[in-house]
Structure 1
Amino acid sequence: MAEYTELEHKAAGHDGTLTDEQGLLIFKPLNEQELQFYKDIQQQQLTDNVESEGDIPLESWMPAYLGVLDEGHNVSENLAKDVQVIDSGEDLINIPNFPTSQDNGTSNRFLVLQNLTAGFNKPNIIDIKLGKILYDENATEDKKQRMTKVSETTTSGSLGFRICGMRIESNKMTSTLDPNHHEFQSQGEYVFINKMFGRTRTVEDVTEAFETYFANSSLNEERRNHLKTIFLQRLQLFFNTILNSEVRMISSSLLFIYEGDASRWDEQKDEDSLIADEFIDYEDEESQDSDSDDIVPKAPLSLMALIDFAHSKVTKGAGYDENVIEGVESLLSIFSKLSD
């Protein structure tokens, strides 16, 4: 029987996101606006014939969207039967024995997305929330007031971004963290750095927070410097993407991931790609048409992705998202210093 577990490698976000046995996919509780955003961006990519020369489309920065999982109503022993991933009525993947969290048999729905950590042996992750404005037009007055206060008292307001969390391997800098801002996981191998760490960063010390993220004890200085440089290059490309994207994204995040296992760097001879390729590779052509376990995740040594679109929408004719662009500019400034 297939097993589905809570996603382990994450730096922030809500509980309830599951992954499959192979770790290729994640199942995220469905938000209708997020689903619509994925569909709109996919459709836009299919229909837009004119692209600015050299620009990378927004979809290339997003996790691969595979469809919607609808559990159905036939629940037996707390397991939903005959589950399928569907998109526009077309079956994409059959996922049997998917667990339900509802005791009354009510159907749950999940977005089925690429697991961005698939293929990494020791992923080191940071979640960076973009924007000064942290609420959309649907927010209650109470939420508007709370989110305005968060922005005004954190780097969200001063820099246009805020570190929401990290999950990284323990290193020499993590030992100096405030005990209220972190906890050890996996027998001390990993450190989970919580949202309060990010909320207490300032313009003066936020660069040091990124140094903590890259201070991996298993990677030599040359590899750590490579990571700082390639994330700078990605941010430069992403900046151009956002300038040419007519969207509004509230509380979306940039997710950085890099490989902490030096043996994978050795195997790939330190070759890293700016933009991640298709996330599933095949050992041979025949396995593409089979149901075997020959599919293996295809991971780079590091990647940057845009995630979380519960408050995002396509806004044709509205120009670029000023709320997001300011945070990216601040990150560019910081990473220029880091890469120096």
Structure 2
Amino acid sequence: MTLIPLSHQAAGHEGPLQTVDGSLFIKPSQPQEIEFYNQTQNKRMKINDDVPYGDSLSDWMPEYVGVLYPGLSNDLIHQSNGAIDEKTLNKATDTLEIEGDHKQYLILKNCLYGYSQPSILDIKLGSILYDSSANASKVERMKKVSQSTTSGSLKFRIAGMVIKDSFDGKLPEDLPGFKMKDVSSTTFKKDYITFDKYFGRKLTKDTVSEGLKIFFRYNNLPKHVQDRLIENFHVRLQMLYNCLLEEEIRVISGSLFFVFENDLSRWEAKNYEDPIISTPTINDDDGDEETEHTDDKELDEDVPLSCLKFIDFAHAKYTPNEGYDEELVSGIQNLFEIIENI
């Protein structure tokens, strides 16, 4: 079994991979991000079982599987509370053949696993887009990006978007200041339209709602499904907002990852039931044979129709006694106030 390039990516750096069956997401990482995942996981394990799911930061992060050090060791140095079976872990450990000087690779459950026709949206939070390690050139460049985009005015910015091509290549109507053909393409993956980073950078405080409307409304899903999606994401953002008010962290260039299903047959099969937040599932398959589960009906029952995840922690840390991150909560508040009205 081998690893392949990520099948869908709305934003971020090149390099993320996935297992062939799509169940695991593997990306190059840095010690600070790995430490943040470890600390968050340790905090979650100390929480009482009666604490509602969604109140802990780890509930909003992708499920943490572990870390690999290709070229240094073939052993997984961390396993996340037994949530992933040994066979699945070995698939990544045995086949990760990437050249590098002892690079570290973060292994997460793939948030897109089981989706048939996903639309995805990456929103970067905060107006500060650099940390203390950035050189003067990057600091100046990132300040200009923030000042000239909704990162500065709203403390969030659309970093990238991939939507199902529901209208035979026809693009949404142009927005003030730019043409859709200049910020989008259909070359990323057949039957999908990709909106690059300049799409979000050209949106203003007055037009960002139209950009978000494209994500939720420019598809063939029935209006009642679109409305349900908007309502559910609105509630999720409020829940994450409340969660982050209780977390003493600082996250620079963290992102919100939105995904929803365009395949109406999956909505119908689930009677249009889309839970606000789904608890992790434990894989207790003890069989010896490797199997592909993408089309497994039993697995499909556990895959949600939409979800929201908090991602990208390369510049994240815990900051005891310093209160919550105002940049994060302000950006999320502005976002759910806009989404409520689209």
1:71 is matched with 70
Range with greater deviation from structure 2 (170-179 or 142-151): 170-179
Query: Whole-Å Cα distance in 1 between the matches of residues 136 and 230 of structure 2?
Result: 40
1:123 is matched with 118
Shift of 1:170: 1.8
Query: Whole-Å Cα distance in 2 between the matches of residues 26 and 335 of structure 1?
Result: 28
1:226 is matched with 228
Shift of 1:8: 1.7
Shift of 1:50: 11
2:296 is matched with none
Shift of 1:31: 1.0
- From 83, 97, 106, the counterpart of 2:74: 83
The yes-or-no answer on 1:138 pairing with 2:133 is yes
Shift of 1:327: 0.4
Shift of 1:289: 6.0
Query: Whole-Å Cα distance in 1 between the matches of residues 156 and 17 of structure 2?
Result: 27
1:22-41 map, 5 Å: 22-41=21-40
1:159 is matched with 154
- Indicate the SS of the match to 1:185: coil
Shift of 1:137: 1.7
The 3 A distance-change label for structure 1 pair 57 and 185 is same
Query: Whole-Å Cα distance in 2 between the matches of residues 49 and 188 of structure 1?
Result: 46
Conservation of the 8 A alpha-carbon contact between 2:54 and 2:60: no
Query: Whole-Å Cα distance in 2 between the matches of residues 204 and 155 of structure 1?
Result: 9
1:57 is matched with 56
- Indicate the SS of the match to 1:99: coil
Conservation of the 8 A alpha-carbon contact between 2:251 and 2:325: yes
The 3 A distance-change label for structure 1 pair 136 and 186 is closer
The 3 A distance-change label for structure 1 pair 51 and 247 is farther
Shift of 1:186: 6.4
Range with greater deviation from structure 2 (165-174 or 311-320): 165-174
The 3 A distance-change label for structure 1 pair 53 and 169 is closer
The yes-or-no answer on 1:168 pairing with 2:163 is yes
The 3 A distance-change label for structure 1 pair 319 and 289 is farther
- Indicate the SS of the match to 2:76: strand
1:129-278 map, 5 Å: 129-171=124-166, 174-176=171-173, 177-185=179-187, 188-278=190-280
Range with greater deviation from structure 2 (134-143 or 151-160): 134-143
Conservation of the 8 A alpha-carbon contact between 1:83 and 1:97: no
Shift of 1:86: 2.1
Conservation of the 8 A alpha-carbon contact between 2:149 and 2:202: yes
Could you report, residue by residue, the CA deviation over 1:187-233 in whole angstroms, capped at 9, with x for unpaired residues?
75100100000000001110011110012433111101100100001
Query: Whole-Å Cα distance in 1 between the matches of residues 189 and 134 of structure 2?
Result: 40
1:43 is matched with 42
- Indicate the SS of the match to 2:119: strand
Conservation of the 8 A alpha-carbon contact between 2:171 and 2:180: no
Query: Whole-Å Cα distance in 2 between the matches of residues 21 and 294 of structure 1?
Result: 9
Range with greater deviation from structure 2 (269-278 or 111-120): 269-278
Shift of 1:171: 4.0
Equivalent AA in structure 2 for residue 99 of structure 1: E
Sequence identity (%): 35
Query: Whole-Å Cα distance in 2 between the matches of residues 207 and 275 of structure 1?
Result: 24
2:338 is matched with 334
Unaligned runs of 5+ in 1: 74-81
Could you report, residue by residue, the CA deviation over 1:7-27 in whole angstroms, capped at 9, with x for unpaired residues?
021100111101001100011
Conservation of the 8 A alpha-carbon contact between 1:181 and 1:194: yes
The 3 A distance-change label for structure 1 pair 27 and 300 is same
Conservation of the 8 A alpha-carbon contact between 1:55 and 1:240: no
The yes-or-no answer on 1:302 pairing with 2:300 is no
TM, length-normalised to structure 1: 0.87
Shift of 1:68: 0.7
Equivalent AA in structure 1 for residue 104 of structure 2: R
Query: Whole-Å Cα distance in 1 between the matches of residues 144 and 50 of structure 2?
Result: 39
1:318 is matched with 322
Shift of 1:182: 0.6
Query: Whole-Å Cα distance in 1 between the matches of residues 195 and 328 of structure 2?
Result: 24
The 3 A distance-change label for structure 1 pair 108 and 222 is same
Query: What is the number of equivalent residue pairs in this alignment?
Result: 322
Query: Whole-Å Cα distance in 1 between the matches of residues 32 and 257 of structure 2?
Result: 20
Conservation of the 8 A alpha-carbon contact between 1:68 and 1:85: yes
Task: Let me know the Cα RMSD of the aligned residues.
Answer: 2.5
Query: Whole-Å Cα distance in 2 between the matches of residues 187 and 17 of structure 1?
Result: 16
TM, length-normalised to structure 2: 0.87
